[in-house]
Amino acid sequence: MHAELTLRNVGETQMKRCTICATEFEAVGRQRFCTSACRQKAWRRRHASPLPSIPARAPRHSTVYQCGSCETRYLGEQYCGDCATFCRRVGVGGLCPTCDEPVAIVDLLPEGAQPG
């Protein structure tokens, strides 16, 4: 009986469709992919590296703050030395390359658009 089980599929071939590129091929055994390149592509899709997580809040050195009294903007500084008050957080940003003033990303987006 054991010999019957091992030889029962000898000579039989099946036409299968590759699950990656949809090419028809003559399958050998339990083969699911037409080439080793498609097999690698399927493995990479199943084992994709996760994208880095976005922190809930940006580090202080890349956050733009604005004084409520004099409306001066600071990059990474939460305290206005001129008014002796704490500033409110505007959002993530950096220095403008042309004028060196702190600019938040939300200032560059169209009205009503949300970042991320």
Residue 111's pLDDT is: 72
Per-residue exposure over 59-89, b if at least 16 CB sit within 10 Å of its own CB, e if not? eeeebbbbbeeeebbbbebeebeeeeeebee
| pTM of the entire predicted model | 0.48
User: Would you say 46 and 38 are in contact if contact means Cβ atoms under 8 Å apart?
Assistant: no
Q: Is the pLDDT of residue 4 over 70?
A: no
Per-residue pLDDT of 47-95, as tens digits, reads 988 766 656 677 778 899 999 999 999 998 999 989 999 999 988 888 9
- Judged on CB neighbours under 10 Å (0-12, 13-18, 19+), 94 is middle
